[in-house]
Structure 1
Amino acid sequence: MPQHYDSIVIGMGGMGSAALWQLARRGQRVLGLERFDLGHAMGSSHGLNRIIRLAYFEHPGYVPLLRRAYELWRETEALAGEQLLFVTGSLDAGPEEGRIVQGSLAACRAHGLPHEALSAAEVNRRFPGYRLPADYAAIHQPDGGFIASERAILAHASLAVAAGAEIHARERVLAIEPAPGRVTVVTERGRYEAGRVIAAAGAWIEDLVPGLRGQAVPERQVLGWFQPRRPALFAPGAFPVSNMETAQGHFYQFPSWGIPGFKIGLYHHFGEHGHADALSREPTARDEAALREAVRAYFPEADGPTLRLAACLFTNTPDEHFVLDTLPGHPEVVVASPCSGHGYKFASVIGEVLAELATTGRSRHDLSLFSCRRLAAG
């Protein structure tokens, strides 16, 4: 006979671990399933930290979720007894009429966020780790920063276990079998039954939710850490996190933290798509060269020795917005794919969203941007 739970969460990354905690704190008997180790480096949440920012150039509709995310990150810190959210301020930079600068400005104005519009010269003077071209501009928003992503997963998992949750790592899920009012999850080791299942399997979600095949596409991404020539310029108090639109692509940056090096990534990197199991996790000299080019052009005081390279995965939808919904025709299955390289910062609030969907079928938050049905319609 299958073991029975109130809810089952598949995937113990940023979203799944937060959902597990939110369900456990509601008194549910809940199981978390993870095909790799708890806190692994095969998915999307490793690499020490992830940016969090309120000036959301992607769409102003994300800002209310972000405000709640900040509240829940602070609550998680207090309960876990460790700092997880680090405020550095954020910069959104590039050509003044470009998507990043104008989108950031629109979000700030729509939601009354404190911000400053800066010229390239003002950025370079105030934050001398940057060297923006003269024709660039930037929006500075003081609440941006980063989340200690690896530690936050373990914090959510630890809180969940303390509240009675059960976690099975190294147990691959083979299938989800929904039926009216219940769902069976089949793994390599057995069968489990629950009233609801949350599929938060990251780049493997297309294997479990056939409707997302071709709609949630894994992409290889590489991050780099470089030793600064002047470390003080890249300390958290001196260097805001940033997104930057350039002729070479969209880059994102972090101050030195955890590793004594400036961290940078190229959004969509080389556009390498495929099944999550087929994409290489081994960085190459070509990966390093693409990141080094941007360091030399825009952050020359960080152009020291390479300290670390790491590959992770994006899971991209066609419009790059999240999927947070119950599965059409199967309300027993909650689908979570946040998603497209900008999701981690929301993990705390998405855990709340998923727990609400799993327990009541609806959320207090506006999820109209994130429906499964929009992908089928497209």
Structure 2
Amino acid sequence: MHSAEQRIRQQLGHFIPEDLGVSLESIGAVSNVSVSESQVSAEVVLGYPLEGVKASLEAKIGEHLADALEGRALSLSLRSQVVPHRAQSSLPALDQVANVIAVASGKGGVGKSTTAVNLALALQAEGARVGLLDADVFGPSQPLMLGKPDGTRPEVLDGKVFVPVEAYGLQTMSMGYLTTKQTPVVWRGPKASGALVQMMEQTRWKQLDYLLVDLPPGTGDIQLTLAQKIPVAGAVVITTPQDIALLDAIKGVEMFRKVDIRVLGIVENMAVHICSHCGHQEHVFGQGGGQRMAQDYDTEVLAALPLSLKIREQADSGEPVVAACPDSEEAGLYRQAARRMAARLSLTEAGKRAFPKITQH
């Protein structure tokens, strides 16, 4: 009986989940295997949310184990457990936030904010607790994309702590909630980055697995401040296939590397245009740039999103595509990108915090 258990454990350990790209054995994901005459019970724990692929993963694992089971029934428990990951230069962790992920782009106009809001919703759809911080101090666009009316303000506790504004189940915070259209922000460098850190630290987040921070475009002061003062576990760089945009994106990747923040991947936006009349696909902005960059910088393309009218219109009307059209192909691509991003993060050395976690009661 012992050898049957060994064989099953070994076979199970060889299984490679698509979003993860490495074997279960290599990450110690197989926790329990027990074998009886008629049944095999196994427990697999993965470090990223996977609600959307759970059933298909279970089926694939079953197929993968078919020979080793030798006719026994399989009872598989597959679950997800998100743990905190190391941030750069061991900054103290944010209370109530397990992992901060920065969403960046080298320049404006590549659809970074739209991608950030849809990635946050996608992580949530996959079963995680998610927050979204709109760190674009000068042109905050998240309130509009989340369908929040002008003049939405966060509740303030004890005169100093903001309660995140709830939108589509996400906990959100934005400079757009704190300023009005009539009083645009005209700060420069240090003042703007100070406001960002303050907004981050004075928001009462609640038990988040992931906090996505939508950075302003570019690689200047604010981005560096974030990278130095906020405990970021990983970053995602949004690009379009245009070579010029890629040169800017490369600056983004380089910036994170300099400050010891791991780039989890690249999302290539507007990668292909699909004609809404005939379905013909055309690479309007060139092809394969994200792939080349990913190879050169040892990262990966998490998803190549189409140039889609649906994605833009829904974001502009305050109903992001992942929330409004959950079964659409576009939503599926965002969910794939979110799982891959979280899976990449789960492969970094887990949960070693340099400071004890202090919880407020």
- TM-score, with normalisation over the residues of structure 1? 0.28
| Greater Cα radius of gyration, structure 1 or 2 | 2
Question: Going by fraction, where is helix more abundant, 1 or 2?
Answer: 2
- TM-score, with normalisation over the residues of structure 2? 0.29
Question: Going by fraction, where is strand more abundant, 1 or 2?
Answer: 1
